[in-house]
Chains A and B, each alone.
Chain A
């Protein structure tokens, strides 16, 4: 008995010996926009950053909280306005520097600074202070029960590294700036940057010093990330074995991939809604044929445009059933979402024409639609289909489709009249949507609000959400804000995306609703 036990132990030990090097070749339509972790609040940018940098708290692949650089957190016993975070000890950055409370203070202040695209998440934070080397306190301007959920994409940089490399200020992407931190990384994460050619190829290798090397599978020892914009090329790369994992299997090729030996498709609803935004705040818009007036400023026109969109046809033909038509710009995962509002979008061409006539645009008008072509599933095809649908109520749309790197600055700079955007909600709460997309554009909030909408009364309600501790009262305010957003037709919702990850069957991972694969969770066999 003892002998067999010993043999079994030896066998176990040998199988548990370091696994051979496993390279994960990973592709998706678009690249990360920058390596600076605070410069763009954008899905693919964060997804790449998550491999190298870490926040205090992460969401695991199922979307649940998991301690990362903080081991535990709680509101301070005697002060509801303060959250206390105990930091993980013995963590080092890739360059060997220790991770300390000072770095947290630095990173949070950096993420609150002028060029940061993450400010909205920290708008309630008035101060971050280091109590000792491994304890940090976040002081908020009132009790903020949901602060931890705002921190899951807020990455921790090393203060010393940033200072030594001129990377203290956040890169100004809209201004076309490139900085050291935009092309180099120094995180605490499971992977280190080896090389990067934007839009071509990024190579990461495992961080042997990673604090969690015994806590996670970490089967993947090297990551080769190649953005492939063309859908057919991307799927061909997966079919031919040139890549192991693609995050966006084209909907027309799902059957083909699933029926190929050695490949699997995994599907899950995504925490992301796709919609159109309109510049309704301007007195006149530049790229239309109406002089001296802005047709989009009239809510009737916006409602008519929403009614012209046939969401079921888009779902059936463009998305091949891989979407869920939306009536509000919150995914069903989010606190504040209601089935009733989400089902509110109806197609009615006759009623839409009547509304157009009522608004004085019975003969229609022309406008430009800016659309990305490498971000969302079938983004350009959805825009193109919408061009035809809007033409039926007399709205002539000139479509300008371009890569997201050129598309997104139009929105954040307020240089587009009519645009497509998708929004995921990593905090699972409506406040995130309101802060970024509904609040008036200020230094603090509204950075992705390309509509020019400004409603001081609504703004006050949005600001109040951060410190409202009575959950029922808070939910009531959320509902009130949504009512205004819906009544004003601030946005034209299209649908909720469904994720389809395609992978070689040796890759073991489940689809995360955030569409943010964290490679440390991957198994390879």
Chain B
């Protein structure tokens, strides 16, 4: 058994073995739902990350598209070109399988980045609010309360609309992804802030924090070095569930036509395109992207559920 850690820090004997027997993994091994979900997420993420290697076509390169391949049913040869595609093609002759892989890349990238943004922002503001108290807390938490009264998707659409209005049209396509991240991230920081603030309020009166304060550490150091590690567990749980929600939020925005552009479609854009052909029998354009989105979001959600239980000592 080898360990990747540098030799200067000798690993405790049987570390992997201990890890395997830890409570955390023990509960993972006992949860078939979590294991299946983990497998699905891993396969999908790997397929998305390595899409250029896995996908038979590059759907983002318009020069390689042949319109005559349009509407090819799954597994059947096209009537004009004779080419056949595993999951069929969409209205522009794009291979649905490749488009899903590339689209999932965008969905996952937007999801991860948006959650990261929301997490950094929410944790920071939550820490500040909880530790400093006073008017800082009042301002941050009241802003959070106000934002909570609007549905997140509306806030995201508002941010998207404003950002689209101020970006020059020629950069809109390139900027669309970043604007999506900003829109979803900014609409989602509140729950992080609220949870972190609550946990910080509990932690800041504990003895280790008082000790740190007595030895004269700065408030910033106390917040990041002492309190943060102890409030991270719930943050991880929220982050996982937020990831599923962010992916769905991105899909919703793109479905409504305010997200990823049709030339560089995400899963939501694909579903929007496919929905046009629901009545005419070309079901595969809608079905496969929708199925992928469902599998992705459901698996991440189930993983998040399991994580919440596994990390909560009271539920054991």
Chain B positions within 8 Å of A370 at CB level? 169
**Is B172 an interface position by the 8 A CB rule?**
yes
Q: Enumerate chain B residues within 8 angstroms of A380, measured Cβ to Cβ.
A: 262
Q: Are B91 and A318 in contact (CB under 8 A)?
A: yes
Contact B67 A310 (CB under 8 A): yes
| Given A252-B277, A253-B280, A381-B91, residue A387 in contact with residue B67 (CB < 8 A) | no
Contact with B along A380-404 (1 / 0, CB 8 A): 1100110111111000011111000
Mind listing 30 A-B residue pairs with CB under 8 Å?
A: A232-B277, A232-B278, A250-B276, A252-B277, A252-B282, A253-B280, A255-B280, A256-B279, A256-B280, A314-B67, A316-B80, A317-B67, A317-B91, A318-B67, A318-B70, A318-B91, A370-B169, A380-B262, A381-B92, A384-B262, A385-B92, A387-B62, A387-B263, A388-B63, A389-B67, A392-B63, A397-B62, A398-B173, A400-B173, A401-B262
Please, how many angstroms separate the alpha-carbon atoms of A230 and B63 in the complex? 28
Query: Does B44 lie at the interface of the complex (its beta carbon under 8 Å from any beta carbon of A)?
Result: no
Cβ distance A255 to chain B, nearest Cβ, rounded Å: 7
A residues 383-442 with Cβ under 8 Å of B?
A: 384-385, 387-392, 397-401
Q: Whole-angstrom distance between the alpha carbons of A253 and B280 in the complex?
A: 5
Known: A252-B277, A398-B173. A388 touches B65 (CB 8 A): yes
With A232-B275, A287-B170, A399-B262 already in contact, the answer to whether A391 and B280 are too (CB < 8 A) is no
Contact in complex: B173, A317 (CB < 8 Å): no
* B63 contact set on A, CB distance < 8 A: 388, 391-392
Q: CB-CB < 8 A to B282: which residues of A?
A: 252
Chain B residues within 8 Å of A11, by CB: none
Distance (whole angstroms) from the CB of B98 to the closest CB of chain A:
14
A235 CB-CB contact with B under 8 Å: yes
Could you list 20 further interchain pairs (A-B, Cβ under 8 angstroms) beyond the known A232-B279, A313-B67, A388-B65? A230-B275, A231-B276, A239-B279, A250-B280, A252-B279, A253-B279, A256-B280, A317-B71, A317-B93, A380-B262, A381-B92, A384-B262, A385-B67, A388-B62, A388-B93, A391-B61, A391-B63, A398-B170, A398-B173, A399-B263
Task: List which B94-116 residues lie within 8 A (CB) of chain A.
Answer: none
**Separation in Å of the B302 CB from the closest CB of chain A?**
31
A residues near B71, Cβ cutoff 8 Å: 317
Bound Cα distance A230, B278 (Å): 12
Chain A stretch 241-256: residues in CB contact (< 8 A) with chain B: 250, 252-253, 255-256
* Residues of chain B within 8 A of A467, CB atoms compared: none
CB distance from A218 to the nearest CB of B (A): 34
The residue of chain B having its C-beta at the shortest distance from the C-beta of A286 within the complex is B170
Name A373's closest neighbour in chain B (CB-CB). Answer: B257
Whether A388 contacts B67 by the Cβ 8 Å rule is yes
Across-interface contacts of B277 in A (CB, < 8 A): 232, 252
A384 & B172 in contact (Cβ 8 Å cutoff): no
Q: How far is the CB of A471 from chain B (nearest CB, A)?
A: 43
CA distance A112 to B263 in the complex (A): 42
A252 touches B276 (CB 8 A): yes
Classify the interface of chain A: helix, strand, loop or mixed.
helix
Residues of A within 8 A of B262 (CB): 380, 384, 399, 401
| Contact count band on A | 35 or more
B68 within 8 A of A: yes
Neighbouring B residues of A390 by C-beta, 8 Å = 62
Q: Which residues of A contact B261 (CB under 8 A)?
A: 399
Total A-B contacts with CB atoms under 8 angstroms apart: 79
Q: Which residues of B contact A399 (CB under 8 A)?
A: 173, 261-263
Q: Which residues of B contact A368 (CB under 8 A)?
A: 169-170
Q: Chain B contact residues: over half helix, strand or loop, or mixed?
A: loop
Q: For window 210-238 of chain A, which residues contact chain B by CB distance below 8 Å?
A: 230-232, 235-236
CB-defined contacts of A316 to chain B, threshold 8 Å = 68, 80
Chain B residues closer than 8 Å to A253, beta-carbon distance: 279-280
The reply to whether A400 and B172 form a contact with Cβ atoms under 8 Å apart is yes
Q: Taking each of B71, B91, B275, B282, which has the highest tally of chain A beta carbons within 10 Å of its own beta carbon?
A: B91
* A287 with B169: CB separation less than 8 A: yes
* A374 to B170 Cα, complex, angstroms: 21
Task: Please give the residue numbers on chain A whose beta carbons come within 8 Å of chain B beta carbons, in ascending order.
Answer: 230-232, 235-236, 239, 250, 252-253, 255-256, 286-287, 310, 313-314, 316-318, 368, 370, 380-381, 384-385, 387-392, 397-401
Residue of B nearest to A381 (CB): B91
Q: Measured between C-beta atoms, what is the minimum distance from A257 to chain B in Å?
A: 9
* B67 close to A252 (CB less than 8 A): no
Tell me the B162-183 residues at the A interface (CB within 8 Å).
169-170, 172-173
Chain A contacts for B92, CB-based, 8 A = 381, 384-385, 388
With A and B bound together, what is the CA distance between A310 and B92 in angstroms?
13
Which B residues touch A313, using CB under 8 A? 67-68
Partner of B279, one of A235, A314, A391: A235
CA distance A318 to B70 in the complex (A): 8
Contact with A along B254-278 (1 / 0, CB 8 A): 0000000111000000000001111
- Whole-angstrom distance between the Cβ of B126 and the nearest chain A Cβ: 39
**Which of A287, A314, A381 neighbours the largest number of chain B CB atoms within 10 Å of its CB?**
A381
- Taking the closest CB of chain B, its distance from the CB of A228, in whole angstroms, is 13
**In the bound complex, how far is the Cα of B68 from the Cα of A401, in angstroms?**
22
Bound Cα distance from A318 to B93, whole angstroms: 10
Give chain B residues whose Cβ lies under 8 Å from the Cβ of A385.
Answer: 67, 92
CA distance A314 to B66 in the complex (A): 11
Query: A510–B169 Cα gap in the complex (Å)?
Result: 41
Give 1 or 0 for each of B277-288: 1 = CB within 8 Å of chain A CB.
111101000000
Q: A250 to chain B: which residues have CB within 8 Å?
A: 276, 280
Chain A residue at minimum C-beta to C-beta distance from B80: A316
Residues from chain A with Cβ under 8 Å of B173 in the complex: 398-400
**Chain B residues within 8 Å of A387, by CB:** 62, 263
Which residues of chain B come closer than 8 Å to A397, judged between CB atoms? Answer: 62
Chain A, residue nearest B79 (CB): A316
C-alpha gap A397/B70 in the complex (Å) = 20
> Smallest distance from the beta carbon of B92 to chain A beta carbons, Å?
6
Q: Kindly state the separation between the CA atoms of A317 and B169 in the bound complex, as whole angstroms.
A: 29
Give complex CA distance A384, B67 in Å.
10
Bound Cα distance from A252 to B275, whole angstroms:
12
Q: Restricting to B65-97, which residues have a CB under 8 Å from any CB of A?
A: 65, 67-68, 70-71, 80, 91-93
A132 nearest CB across to chain B (Å): 54
Closest to B89 in A: A317
Which residues of B sit under 8 angstroms from A239, Cβ to Cβ?
Answer: 279
Decide if B263 touches A384 in the complex (CB within 8 Å): yes
> B277-305: which residues lie under 8 A (CB-CB) from chain A?
277-280, 282
Q: How close is A165's CB to chain B, nearest CB, in angstroms?
A: 32
- Alpha-carbon gap, A397 to B68, bound state (A): 20
